[in-house]
Amino acid sequence: MSFEIKLPLFEGPFDLLLFFIERDELDIYDIPISQITTDFLNFLHQLEQMNIEVASEFILVAATLMKIKAKMLLPRPDLDEEGNEIDPREDLVKHLLEYKKYKSVIAELATMQDHRLAREKRGNIMKEIKALSELTNVEAELQNIDLYKLLKVYQKVISRYNLEQNKPSHQVLQYPYSVEDQKTFLIKKLTEKNKISFTEIIAFESVKIAVIFNFLAILELLHLKKISLHLGMGYNNFWIELPEEALVE
C-alpha cells in the first residue's frame, strides 16, 4: 500500500528532483547523477528517521537514479541503431521537463479556477432584463398573453376554488339543554303526573342529546333524593316518581 507524501516544499519525487536542481543551479540537460542521487537518498533516510513511510513513487525514482548511476559507471555504453551512444539520463531528463511544464500549467489553471469561482454566473442579460421589465409592465404582459396561458390560469383558479370548497370545516354548536333545566322540567312533569316512565320521558323529546341530558338529570335528582326510581316492565324501562315527603308537602 503506497502513501502520497505532501511536505511544505514538494509533493512528489520529481518535485524533489527539481528542487535539488534549482537549489544547486544545475543544468537539467546535464545532471550530475552521482550528486543528485546522494541528495535524494539522504532525503529518504531523513523521512525514515522521522518514522514517515516512504511512498512507492519515491522508492521507484530512487531505484531509477541508482540504475542510471550504475550504467554511467559501466565502461561499455549503450548504443542506438545508428551507433550513437545513449545517455542513461535521457529518459529522466525528458520526464523532468514534462513534469516542469505540467506543473507550471497546473499553477495557471488553479489561478484561473480561483478567479472563475469568485465570479457570479450570469445568463442571457437581455433576456433577464426583459423578464424583469415585464413584471411591472402590464401592457407587455397582456401583449404576450395567449389561449394556453389563459387556460393555465383558469385551471389554477378552478383548482384553488375546489380546494377551498372541499376544505374540512369545524362548527361548534351549543346544545339547547342543560342538566339544571332538565331537572326543573322533570320535577314539573312529576307534579302534573305523579308517576312517569322513562319511555314517556323519551317521548317528550326523542332527540338523542335530549335523552342523554334527561338521563343525567334523573341520576342527579336521584342522588339528591328528590325522586324515587322503580323498575317497570321491560329491561329498558323504569318509573320515576316524587317521594312521599314531597307529596305530603
**pLDDT tens for residues 57-81?**
777 778 878 887 787 777 666 766 7
Alpha helices (runs of H) in 166-207, residue ranges in sequence order: 179-192, 198-204
Task: Please report the pLDDT score of residue 153 as a whole number.
Answer: 80
Q: What is the mean pLDDT of the chain?
A: 76
Q: Is the dihedral of CA 45, 50, 56, 58 positive or negative?
A: negative
Which of the four pLDDT bands, split at 50, 70 and 90, describes residue 200? confident
Q: How far is CA 241 from the centre of its chain?
A: 72
d(CA 148, CA 146): 6
Task: Please report the pLDDT score of residue 162 as a whole number.
Answer: 86
Higher pLDDT, 245 or 115: 115
Task: Please report the pLDDT score of residue 9 as a whole number.
Answer: 46
d(CA 161, CA 138): 25
Task: Please report the pLDDT score of residue 7 as a whole number.
Answer: 45
d(CA 212, CA 197): 15
Task: Please report the pLDDT score of residue 234 as a whole number.
Answer: 57
Confidence check: pLDDT of 6 > 50: no
Confidence check: pLDDT of 158 > 80: yes
Domain covering 179-248 in this structure, CATH number: 1.10.10.580
Domain boundaries, the chain: 13-117, 179-248
Higher pLDDT, 232 or 4: 232
Higher pLDDT, 245 or 185: 185
Confidence check: pLDDT of 27 > 60: yes
| CB neighbours of residue 212 within 10 Å | 14
d(CA 90, CA 72): 12
Contact 96, 28 (CB under 8 A): yes
Which of the four pLDDT bands, split at 50, 70 and 90, describes residue 51? low
The stretch 126-133 carries a mean pLDDT of: 69
Q: Which of 245, 234, 210 is nearest to 218 (CA)?
A: 210
